[in-house]
Structure 1
Amino acid sequence: MPMSDSTVTQWEGREEQAGPQAVTDRDSRGVLGRLRRPRRPRLWFEILLIAVSYWTYSLIRNAVPEQKGKALRNADWIWSAEGALGIDVERSVNHAMNSVTWLIIGMNYYYATLHFVITIAVLVWLYRWHPGRYAAARLALFATTGGALVGYYLFPLAPPRLMRGGHFVDTVMVHHTWGSMASGDLKHMSNQYAAMPSMHIGWSLWCGLTVFALASVPWVRVLGLLYPALTLLVIVSTANHFWLDAVGGVLCLSFGFLVARAWYGAVPYALPRVVAPGPAPEPARP
């Protein structure tokens, strides 16, 4: 059962003044118990952890062999499967959005930048305003990303813009926009066939659910839900992903939340809020 706010608020202060018996009781819970305890995160550690984790993620993602032949066959299979399901409308969306130049250029920049900007912003917001939930939410995000790495290795997939036949428009190449690691001169620095699952969806849905669950302002909560929906439209319009890539992103996020719940005993949004420790209560007088 999650602890109340007041319990977490005074936890550290009580430990410091409760004496040796409290220390013994604390130690008896073991290392895992202390790691799972809601606590205020340390800024230097979080910056270092996120930087190292993203560097490791990029290194592993780009180290996965670019199996072009298999990736193109998998893309044909995904396209056929969507046709059988009646949801193969990505090409129509791609061409329709590409016909409105200002709109598709905006989507190109959205795809290249907001994926990182919004995710970092939500992490900072969690750190500042919801420190007791920060570690669990961060673990869910990290586990989601780890699950994606498995997908990239097991199921190499070409994005629609690289499919044989040239039926899709590579909007970054056509409009010469900057910032994409998937087109132009930068494409040699990134694995071109790591499209399944879509981490644009996994990360944006994590952001959206976090904001919706924890924000107190109604219109901000609505924006939280609109963000992953708009991201879905962008990844399809720019021909970077199929609809089913988004499903893969949702499955990875579900795995991330399961990992966080298994470790902390609750989903991140159900954990207590940690504030600055208050003074320990005075002992009862006889």
Structure 2
Amino acid sequence: MSRRRAVLEVAGLLAGFALFAWLHSLIGRDHLTATANAATLQSIERTLHLDIVLPANRWLAGHVRLAHAAAWFYRAYYLAIAGTLIWVGLRDVAVYRRVRRAMVAMMVLVLPFYWAVPMSPPRFALPGTVDIVALHGIFGHASRDGGWTAMPSMHVGWSLWCAYAVWTALRPTHPRAALLAWIFPLLMVAVVIATANHYVLDIAGSVLLVGAAVGLTALLPRPGSPSPPTSGPGANRTNLASPPG
């Protein structure tokens, strides 16, 4: 990739993330509906015996050093996204273009769902939880300033995307090492639950989101793949001058 192309690529990604963040900030503001949806989700999780957020949150709140680490890990996923993009882009341009398509598809697919189904996170809607990221995080009480778009969890979604990108890049040459990439989203799942930022079903929604984005982009022609031959006059004409076979 040329330097000019790289500059345009970075500018396009920054503009795309800025647009996504702006649109994200405009939706999910219906607090009453978000709280009602959270109550419904809590009821479903109790029925399915998946209501593990409160005990996990109380356990983490009682271990201050782990709580600090969890809060920092929760915030640092931006660095993981940037690092993954840079590493994959330098390693394999074709893989980079493929996983970038999946990233864009994720952002396009999730916004309508956030608009249609606002969801209050456990730290707002589940009595007895401790907002660990607000208490121990680098930005202090910033986590209390918004966030009624908990379903699906984009923290888990982005960490799954990072793992998918690294796994795709490493799998052909280092299949065993490629599997280690999936440790990152597993850790993120534990963090978002224990910090009371997401429910278990939010995580299930993230898996569906990433699966849909990857599946959608798989239907498109791979970047750099040859175009199918175009039909036209003489396209199916046999070259009589050439010997058979």
TM-score range, shorter chain: 0.7 to 0.9
**Which residues in structure 2 correspond to 1:170-209 (within 5 Å)?**
170-175=131-136, 177-179=137-139, 184-185=141-142, 187-188=144-145, 191-209=146-164
Q: Could you tell me how far apart the structure 2 residues matched to 1:227 and 1:131 are?
A: 23
The two structures have a TM-score, normalised by structure 1, of 0.72
Q: What are the ranges of 5 or more consecutive residues in structure 2 without an aligned counterpart?
A: 226-245
Matches within 5 A, 1:114-263: 115-163=77-125, 166-175=127-136, 177-179=137-139, 184-185=141-142, 187-188=144-145, 191-215=146-170, 216-217=173-174, 220-263=177-220
Query: Which amino acid in 2 is paired with 1:167?
Result: G
**Structure 1 residue 223, shift from structure 2 partner:** 2.8
Residue 40 of structure 1 contacts residue 132 of structure 1 at CA under 8 Å; is this kept in 2?
Answer: no
Q: What is the CA-CA distance between 1:70 and the residue it aligns to?
A: 0.6
> CA offset at residue 65 of structure 1?
4.6
Corresponding residue for residue 67 of structure 1: 30
Q: Is the 8 A contact 1:147 1:252 kept in 2?
A: yes
**Corresponding residue pairs, total:** 222
Counterpart residue number, 1:26:
none
Partner of 2:235: none
* Letter of the structure 2 residue corresponding to residue 213 of structure 1: T
Distance in 2 between the 1:84 and 1:78 partners?
A: 10
Equivalent-residue separation in structure 2 for 1:172 and 1:227 (angstroms): 18
Could you tell me how far apart the structure 2 residues matched to 1:116 and 1:99 are?
Answer: 27
Identity between Structure 1 and Structure 2 (%): 25
SS of 2:220's partner is: helix
Counterpart position of 1:20: none
SS at match of 2:33: helix
Unaligned runs of 5+ in 1: 1-38, 273-286
TM-score by length of 2: 0.83
| Residue 217 of structure 1, CA deviation | 4.4
Q: CA RMSD in A?
A: 2.2
- Asked if the contact 1:156/1:193 (under 8 Å) is kept, the reply is yes
1:264 is matched with 221
Q: Is 2:45 the partner of 1:90?
A: no
Contact 1:136 1:264 in 2 (8 A): no
Q: Provide the C-alpha distance between the structure 1 equivalents of 2:163 and 2:88, rounded to a whole number of angstroms.
A: 13
Question: Highest relative contact order (Cα 8 Å, sep 6+), 1 or 2?
Answer: 1
Is the Cα contact below 8 Å between 1:236 and 1:243 reproduced in 2?
Answer: yes
